[in-house]
Structure 1
Amino acid sequence: MAKVKVGVAGYGVIGLRLATGVALQEDMELVGVADVAPTLSVRGLVEAGMPYRFYNAMPENEEKLKAAGVPISGSLEDLVEQCDVMLDATNAGVGAKNKELYARMGKKAVFQGGEKNSVADVFFHGYANYEKGLGQQFLKLTSCNTTGLIRAVDALDRAVGVEKVAITIIRRVADPGDYHRGLTNALQMDKAPSHQAVDLMTIMPHVDATGILVHTPVTHGHIITVVASTRKKIDKANTLEILGAHPRIRTVKIEDGFLGNASLFRYARDMGKLRGDLYEIALWDESIVNSGNDIMFAINIPQESVVIPENMDAIRAAMQMQLTRDEGTAMTNRYLGIK
């Protein structure tokens, strides 16, 4: 069976990780990546020996790219023409413009959480609604926080039923290496309900969700606390059994040294993970407690890498490579090395 040909538009924080993810999928072929300028990520690609072909998405920047030593294989249109599906990781709003190109050329595309829901036929999550993405032309992923949150809520919902959730998101303010948010020493409240709760209800409409978000002056990962009201009362042991069985949820303990987000980032680097990336969210064992009939717990979201598996799931659904949630996610997990 011929490999599905995939291109990545936007070679930034998410795009470069999408390229890595696709390259690891043995039933997919990464045709190339596209960007508009010799950014640090693109310069890093050059220093790495150009493992992927590069396509210029902004013709007027060709001389800048050549001056930076970037070999150009063609235009964005040239890349799209060769692909079955595009992963669009461009800045919010750019993907919607690129959609016109994808539609004109009859190609499928997967957009990231920053785009408006209207850009796609399906608001997609690999575990919660895989089958809704089957054969669709345009899919949009949830944000990093929503992606990890849905993994946990969906697992509980399938096991014991979830009626409602209340979340608090302690949100990192920027990605490592970013300066556009400035140098801060403050916490900032966001208005409720947070979009993550609203997005969860869009994908899981039977769950009543609300949430509060607090911006924090850190860069490595978000932490979400979840209070879930389940149809069948569960305790800590039940929760550990249910969530611990999920391939994309890693259970950790404070007593083992996992004190917070920085501990998990360091652990990933110590394991030799490329860029310190973890595909799994982390569930703190000691955070799991009952509040009346509800269950409460805390999870860590590695914002730079958490959505990569669900993007691979989206390709599988759109291209109908696997027809069920279990088969599709299992193939993604296998090639990404998720146990």
Structure 2
Amino acid sequence: MVKVGVVGYGVIGQRLADGVALQEDMELVGVADVSPTLAVRALKEKGMPYDLYIAVPENKELFDKAGIPVSGTLEDLVQKVDVILDATSAGVGARNKELYKKYNKKAIFQGGEKNDVADVFFHGYANYEKGLGKQFLKLTSCNTTGLIRAVDCLDREVGIEKVAITIIRRVADPGDYHRGLTNALQVDKAPNHQAVDLMTIMPHVDATGILVHTPVTHGHIITVVATPKREIGKEEVLKYFNQHPRIRVVRLADGFLGNASLFRYARDLGNPRGDMYEIAVFEETIVNSGKDIMFAINIPQEAVVIPENMDAIRAAMEMQTDRLEAVALTNKYLGMGKWMEK
């Protein structure tokens, strides 16, 4: 049983903790955070299902005043685990790395950290083998994670030469107050980092793209124009996507009109927090343009990276050396692909 700790109990950290708790071959030792945030207060109100550790010992009085029990410090947590999932704010993970090195622990960092924080820039489906036994892995961002899932799916079947993407990006997570746009869209310069990151993971694919920030919070939409190595049509693309446990094919005709429809559907399914681990491909957007194939996907940014984090633990700890065996176990324990059985 691999022992796991989660550092940073925010938007991603909460979901990482839940994801680890679902893995039957992993044990969640505890979570760490710096202050009694709303997420930590909710943890207390739920009966403290996870042990809590203080990342900044000087803040112990704040936890005491809030009546939140703690099990020790971040350093205590690190000593008790085999691997850390670091879900702290960008830059904090790089500082925490020194602590992980001190105790010779493995750690997995999130997309906000710089690539040089880790030995391997990791994606469960696309380059699992490169993460085997490594001490430090870094995950791709939410958009890049979902994008690579779709491109890798087609690349393994028919080969992909290049992709051109447009990301319609949510501006902030639900509940965030620190930034926002009103009646405005904002365009970033090309190429966006997701295209560059895709090429880092899949160097044989030529990728470029544009990103547009939008004043919404529930999910990103990415349009992809992919050039396959041989001509493929909509039905063949649908066949490959329908076989992938982390890709859900949805139809506009059934009421899946966009990001909000998918978020509402996740809530109607009873998913905690309205989370969806899978990306969605809108069936009616799959079209040919000459040799190219075009389609649009939805990225549920709060939860989409959780499966790949579980894959990263499996690779770093060499729990499974076979890529497909590893991702299949992650999918099974997270309950992914259930819609394929209906």
TM > 0.5 fold call = yes
Tell me if 1:338 matches 2:339: no
Once the two structures are TM-superposed, the CA of residue 183 in structure 1 deviates from its matched residue by 5.3
- 1:60 aligned residue: 58
Give the counterpart letter for 1:29 in structure 2.
E
- 1:279 aligned residue: 277
Provide the C-alpha distance between the structure 2 equivalents of 1:126 and 1:97, rounded to a whole number of angstroms: 25
Provide the C-alpha distance between the structure 1 equivalents of 2:10 and 2:64, rounded to a whole number of angstroms: 19
Provide the C-alpha distance between the structure 1 equivalents of 2:226 and 2:273, rounded to a whole number of angstroms: 33
Scaled by the length of structure 1, what TM-score is found? 0.99
Give the counterpart letter for 1:50 in structure 2.
M
- 1:33 aligned residue: 31
Give secondary structure in 1 for the equivalent of 2:179: coil
Kindly report structure 1 stretches of 4+ aligned residues shifted beyond 6 Å. none
Provide the C-alpha distance between the structure 2 equivalents of 1:285 and 1:331, rounded to a whole number of angstroms: 27
Provide the C-alpha distance between the structure 2 equivalents of 1:57 and 1:148, rounded to a whole number of angstroms: 31
Give the counterpart letter for 1:192 in structure 2.
A
Give secondary structure in 1 for the equivalent of 2:124: coil
Give the counterpart letter for 1:6 in structure 2.
V
Give identity over the alignment, percent.
Answer: 77
Give secondary structure in 2 for the equivalent of 1:123: strand
Gaps of 5+ in 1: none
- 1:90 aligned residue: 88
Tell me if 1:270 matches 2:268: yes
Gaps of 5+ in 2: 338-342
- 1:51-200 to structure 2, matched below 5 A, reads 51-182=49-180, 184-200=182-198
RMSD: 0.6
Provide the C-alpha distance between the structure 1 equivalents of 2:68 and 2:167, rounded to a whole number of angstroms: 40
Provide the C-alpha distance between the structure 1 equivalents of 2:116 and 2:161, rounded to a whole number of angstroms: 27
Give the counterpart letter for 1:187 in structure 2.
L
| 1:50-87 Cα deviation digits (max 9, x unpaired) | 00000000111110111111101000000000000000
Give secondary structure in 1 for the equivalent of 2:270: coil
- 1:13 aligned residue: 11
- 2:40 aligned residue: 42
Once the two structures are TM-superposed, the CA of residue 182 in structure 1 deviates from its matched residue by 3.7
Once the two structures are TM-superposed, the CA of residue 184 in structure 1 deviates from its matched residue by 2.0
Of 294, 297, 300, the match for 2:295: 297
Of 240, 255, 274, the match for 1:242: 240
Once the two structures are TM-superposed, the CA of residue 272 in structure 1 deviates from its matched residue by 0.4
Give the counterpart letter for 2:213 in structure 1.
H
Equivalent residue pairs, number? 337
Give secondary structure in 2 for the equivalent of 1:128: helix
- 2:340 aligned residue: none
Give the counterpart letter for 2:334 in structure 1.
L
Once the two structures are TM-superposed, the CA of residue 232 in structure 1 deviates from its matched residue by 1.1
**Given that residues 171 and 181 in structure 2 are in contact (C-alpha distance below 8 angstroms), is that contact kept between their aligned partners in structure 1?**
no
